[in-house]
Structure 1
Amino acid sequence: MGDPISIVELHMDYCSRTFGVGACTASLGGQVDRKCFNTWATCKLKSAFNKATKVYAFTENVTGLPVGQYIPALKSVSGRSGTVNIAGSDPRMESLGVRATVTATFRDFVDNDTVSDKYQAERRSGAAQLSGVGYDPADRGTFWGRFKTRNPNYAGRKLVVKQGYIDSGAVTIEAERHYVITEFEGPDTNGVVTVKGKDVLDLAGNTKAVAPKASRGFLGADIDASATSVTMLPAGVGAEYASSGWAVIGSEIVSFDRTGDVMTIGRGRRGTVAASHTVNDTVQETFSVRRSRIDDVLYDLLVNYAAIPASYIPVADWQAEVDRWGGQLELTADICKPEGVSNLIGEMAVLGISIWWDEIAQKIRLRINRPPDLDVVKPIDDRNNIISAKQEDRDEDRLTRVVFSTVQIDPTKGLSKDNFLRTRVVIDVDAEYVDNYNGQRSKEIVSRWLNHGADNLVRILSKRLLNRFNKQPVLYEINLDYKDDCGLVDVLQLSSRVAQDDTGAIAPQLMQVIKREDDRSGHSLKITAQKFQFAGRYGYVTENSRPVYTASSAAQKARGAYFVDEGTLLFGDGTCPYVFS
């Protein structure tokens, strides 16, 4: 099979043009004393910069590497997969979970710059310098010293880790994970460089992406409570606003239609009161949605505000998941000032969604809090897969009731509970019964995303949450052989002596992977999985032509609903009835 190999790629911005040729009219002279290095920081004519990507591929110094394809300067690479916070239910972590991370260390070295510099030969001859005096790049600095100076805007650029093996000079890749660069340390006096990355959802971090974007426009004159037109300054700023929409002036929400820098406004909208405002008061455009699908709102925030490439979002998969399990998940909200995108998505998570980065498929996944449905169930057991396993009950996360507040009175006043009109309480009476758990465990949800009301949706979301967490959530920490690799949110069926029924027999358990870690040896992995608490056999509305239960196939029975004998409450084969969520 060959020897194992790790490859780390840094994808850096690189100008596709050539200095002084065609569209690039830069030339030596004046303040331009040398040609660029085809990066933004070194560009001599930024209006001509044409961004492409240059990939620097590093690997360990192993024998048999293909000539010219890799830079043998990699010392080590280690990573940690992210953690999913199912439906934002774990109070110990952020609603969006924990980002996957990677750390790669490199050795610095003397380099002749042939890999990085398009004009290396001209540096030597002097043709790349205004002075005409040449120099040998190998006599000036080191690879990483030059790299960092030429690419100071490394943050957010792609970092790819590939794992595979090399055999007779041929490299075969078995796994590939994608991240964005977040930190760059070194080179230090020992010639060590460390580059760190996180998964692409880091681009939605609260310090990196906000919605709405901060507006620059302000009132050019005082207005009273009856004015229906305003002119914004500075001149030309109107082009930064939509042609129509919603904005906040002071504590008043207005609707607007805009022509140039002039807005025609509707006063005192969304529960606010028309008031007088003073010259120089900011006109802040809002992030407003009206009965919009949750997947559409998430896409908008991630792509248009966090600048995450749209190619990372499997739109059809998102739509299918929401169509099937979140058809009523429509959002209505006004976000009146710039707020972190991560926080905003975290607020949506408690509505029963999980978002995570699939670092293998290079996609952002979306999952509704629901029973197992079309998920592929992977069996694991003590004999064939499990190296070791242990379980932990999280009784502190058990729930018996959900207190859910919706409909903001005034969207400019924030998320305090007294700024909401409706509070609905959904209780699992059986869980609170004196002979059962004998007590209350409440989860309070305050949501500004359901400002149209949606009481029926609140009931559904609350019951789903209780169905999953009305017993102690059970976490399983399992070590598996690498051949049994699995991804975040995969559904497993565990058959192990750590999970027994009341007779002591092994009781197969369905569970969902919420954390995954590679062992440093590369031969095993550790996962943390959360037991599925959805009890029962879930039914689905079927087509009119569906045959009766006894004539249906196993696949039809798994995705249908049939009526049981009203006396026994069982089907003829002894199986239990269906339930609906």
Structure 2
Amino acid sequence: METRHFVMESFDGPSPEGRFTIVAKDALKLADDERAQAPKPSRGYLTADIGSGTTSVTLLPVGIGNLEYPASGYVSIGGKEICAFTRSGDVLTLTRARYNTAAVAHKSQDRVQLCLEYVGQSPATILRDLFVTYAGVPAAYIDLNDWQEEASAFLGVLYSALIPEPTGVNKLASELVQQAALAVWWDDLHRQMRMRVLRPILSDAALFDDQNILSRSMRIKDQHEKRLSQVWVYYGLVNPLTKADDPTNYRSLHVSGDLLAEADYGQPAVKKIYARFIPEFGRQVAQRAGDIVLGQYRFPPRLMTFQTFRGVEPLPELGMGCNVMAQPMQTDTGAPAVIPSQITRITPQESGFLIEAPELRFVGEPIDLGDRTIIINSNVQNFNWRASYDRLYPAPTVDDEIICIINPGVLVGSNSTSLAAFVLGDWPAFANLTIRLRGGIRGKGGAGGKGGSAGSGGGNGSAGGTALYARHAFKLELFEGASLWGGGGGGGGGAGGPSGSISGGGRGGGGGGGAGVAAGAGGSGNNPGRGGSATGGGSGGSGGGEAGGGRSGGNPGNAGDRGGTGTNPTLSGGNGGGAGAAIDGNSYSTKTGPTNTLRGRLIN
């Protein structure tokens, strides 16, 4: 006798005959959206109005901080802004405007919702947390080690997301299952929740054929409504507070397409996936998701329904990958066709089992689980390679080839001269790193110096920022059209004219800003200097009377010019800001390709 395990949904009875009716479901029912939400709703709210610059708030009701909020994390205030926080009692110390939201004023009584954040985690870990922590699935139902080993062996990538509002667990789990190409099901025989990474069915998997399929029980249906010729994967969610199914809320798009399939069937069939769990720079991960879905549904998958006998091998189990061979299925040559399938439904019967097994076919090249590539395909500032890697991939191993590609036309810049545009980050000594630069990495331009007031010298321009910073060995492959440029230094401010009542007094002109993706601002003065541009330094402003004029900011990788000198008495103009480094950590690099793509100092 077999025992199958379910969760009791409801019961009715007794009837006049003393009978009870029981409705039982599998454990996944606990994750239904109307029953389970993640994160759980928070009851805290603001005690008073706050402005856009407020960094400390107190929550009500009294004591709610210790009850519902951790020592640190992220909160959504009024559904308008995400803030990082640390907590002491009911007081939150805030870092405003996180996750691409803007700092805005909030009203007293605005709700303060605790967010749920996953950063660089295995889908096994995320799913287990959703099911156990938020849906109340008993932890004993999930073998986390088994799930993690499955994901590590057959997937090898990580996922990240911030969930700012209570959202159905089933919705979140279903999204992740699709984006990671998984199957999750309830094993009612062993009282376990199972997870499998979708992959080709092996040729020696369990076989169902005329030897174990009940005669004339086979039914085959072509599921034409599931055919696909294009899969669009939107990834890199911009603002978690806006709609997750809005394509304008995603930075990037990968399209997996099969034009031959469209020609074969006469029209396109498009599926859109809004991948909140795939962060920016995850093009390889998005491509994998799109390619697997397209490979499954490039041809209309067949749904097979058949019956088997009890006591005949193989014993069918839910989720089992198998091969099905039965008439009238044939190859083009007339030989019996073997259809790779996965069992998705089993109905036990007195003499056997009624089985549903949709075709599970993979078309295209196998997925390279060792690929550790990050592709930057849109402009970004202050990129940290290791931090981005950790959101997508597990810890590097000695065999991994870790690659970062900056696509043509893409610029990696910086919003501060004290921060490099591209930082390698900290890696183990064995890490094999390669940058393929087809776009640009450019430091920030320095600010122009201020024009001196009457009787004073001009202000110095600021130094340009660094483009690339490294303290680990790496290969740098440079391509035609690429640019690795330090920021231009700011131009010096002009000296002021004579002080006192001597004629000709006046303020010096402001220095021009240095070149950079984020260019330096012009300095103030009698006439302010012009800000720089992405490719050139700004011109200096003219001085008043006998005051000196400001001078130009530096072009990419060049120092700014020294400010003009005032007269009677002679005063010095400000020094031009130094040139930003193209590479700080040049001794760690091995370069190939055209070196005319480099502008700026090569240091350390």
C-alpha distance 378-536 of structure 1, shift in aligned 2 (>3 A): farther
Find out whether 1:178 has 2:8 as its counterpart: no
Amino acid at match of 1:483: G
Name 2:329's counterpart in structure 1.
499
Amino acid at match of 1:421: R
1:397-433 superposed Cα distances (whole Å, 9 cap, x missing partner): 111111111122221112222222222211123322x
Name 1:406's counterpart in structure 2.
235
- Tell whether the 8 Å contact from 1:380 to 1:386 is kept in structure 2 after alignment: no
SS at match of 1:178: coil
Name 2:54's counterpart in structure 1.
227
Query: Which fold has the larger relative contact order, with Cα–Cα distance below 8 Å and residues 6 or more apart in sequence?
Result: 1
Give the superposition deviation at 1:468. 1.7
Name 1:423's counterpart in structure 2.
253
TM-score (norm 2): 0.58
Name 1:214's counterpart in structure 2.
41
SS at match of 2:343: strand
Please show how residues 476-515 of structure 1 align to structure 2 within 5 Å: 476-484=304-312, 485-515=315-345
- Tell whether the 8 Å contact from 1:252 to 1:275 is kept in structure 2 after alignment: yes
The runs of at least 4 consecutive aligned structure 1 residues that moved more than 6 Å come to: 539-542
Name 1:529's counterpart in structure 2.
357
C-alpha distance 474-205 of structure 1, shift in aligned 2 (>3 A): same
Give the superposition deviation at 1:281. 1.0
- Tell whether the 8 Å contact from 1:332 to 1:452 is kept in structure 2 after alignment: no
C-alpha distance 285-539 of structure 1, shift in aligned 2 (>3 A): closer
1:294-322 superposed Cα distances (whole Å, 9 cap, x missing partner): 11111111111112111111112211211
What is the aligned counterpart of 2:28 among 196, 201, 211? 201
Give the superposition deviation at 1:260. 0.8
Whose strand proportion is higher, 1 or 2?
1
Name 1:238's counterpart in structure 2.
65
In structure 1, distance between residues paired with 2:249 and 2:363: 36
SS at match of 1:498: coil
In structure 1, distance between residues paired with 2:322 and 2:163: 39
Find out whether 1:445 has 2:445 as its counterpart: no
What is the aligned counterpart of 1:358 among 187, 190, 206? 187
Give the superposition deviation at 1:249. 0.3
Bigger mean CA deviation after superposition, 238-247 or 404-413: 404-413
In structure 2, distance between residues paired with 1:211 and 1:274: 25
Amino acid at match of 1:336: P
Amino acid at match of 1:474: R
SS at match of 1:450: coil
In structure 1, distance between residues paired with 2:140 and 2:358: 30
> Between the two proteins, what is the percent identity of the paired residues?
32
In structure 2, distance between residues paired with 1:539 and 1:327: 11
Aligned residue-pair number: 363
In structure 1, distance between residues paired with 2:55 and 2:367: 54
SS at match of 1:410: coil
1:12-54 superposed Cα distances (whole Å, 9 cap, x missing partner): xxxxxxxxxxxxxxxxxxxxxxxxxxxxxxxxxxxxxxxxxxx
Q: Please provide the CA RMSD for this pair.
A: 2.0
What is the aligned counterpart of 1:470 among 288, 298, 315? 298
Name 2:451's counterpart in structure 1.
none
In structure 2, distance between residues paired with 1:456 and 1:429: 21
Please show how residues 119-134 of structure 1 align to structure 2 within 5 Å: none
Give the superposition deviation at 1:535. 4.9
Give the superposition deviation at 1:539. 8.9
1:78-128 superposed Cα distances (whole Å, 9 cap, x missing partner): xxxxxxxxxxxxxxxxxxxxxxxxxxxxxxxxxxxxxxxxxxxxxxxxxxx
Name 1:313's counterpart in structure 2.
142
Give the superposition deviation at 1:376. 6.8
Amino acid at match of 1:424: H
What is the aligned counterpart of 2:161 among 333, 351, 369? 333
In structure 2, distance between residues paired with 1:469 and 1:196: 35
Amino acid at match of 1:218: Y
Please show how residues 245-260 of structure 1 align to structure 2 within 5 Å: 245-250=73-78, 251-260=80-89
In structure 2, distance between residues paired with 1:341 and 1:255: 24
Bigger mean CA deviation after superposition, 249-258 or 306-315: 306-315
1:465-486 superposed Cα distances (whole Å, 9 cap, x missing partner): 1222111101111111122430
SS at match of 1:403: strand
C-alpha distance 192-243 of structure 1, shift in aligned 2 (>3 A): same
In structure 2, distance between residues paired with 1:189 and 1:334: 53
- Tell whether the 8 Å contact from 2:122 to 2:148 is kept in structure 1 after alignment: no
Find out whether 1:293 has 2:85 as its counterpart: no
Amino acid at match of 1:420: Y
Amino acid at match of 2:155: G
Amino acid at match of 2:12: E
C-alpha distance 185-370 of structure 1, shift in aligned 2 (>3 A): same
In structure 2, distance between residues paired with 1:362 and 1:317: 15
Give the superposition deviation at 1:186. 2.0
Is there any run of 5+ residues in structure 2 with no aligned partner, and where? Answer: 371-604
In structure 2, distance between residues paired with 1:234 and 1:403: 46
Name 2:441's counterpart in structure 1.
none
Give the superposition deviation at 1:267. 0.3
1:248-267 superposed Cα distances (whole Å, 9 cap, x missing partner): 00210000001111110100
Bigger mean CA deviation after superposition, 422-431 or 260-269: 422-431
Name 2:437's counterpart in structure 1.
none
Is there any run of 5+ residues in structure 1 with no aligned partner, and where? Answer: 1-163, 165-174, 543-581
SS at match of 1:386: coil
C-alpha distance 537-217 of structure 1, shift in aligned 2 (>3 A): closer
- Tell whether the 8 Å contact from 1:186 to 1:192 is kept in structure 2 after alignment: yes
- Tell whether the 8 Å contact from 2:212 to 2:309 is kept in structure 1 after alignment: no
1:213-237 superposed Cα distances (whole Å, 9 cap, x missing partner): 1101111111111011111111110
1:181-239 superposed Cα distances (whole Å, 9 cap, x missing partner): 11121224443321211111111111221110110111111111101111111111001
C-alpha distance 213-536 of structure 1, shift in aligned 2 (>3 A): closer
- Tell whether the 8 Å contact from 2:236 to 2:279 is kept in structure 1 after alignment: yes
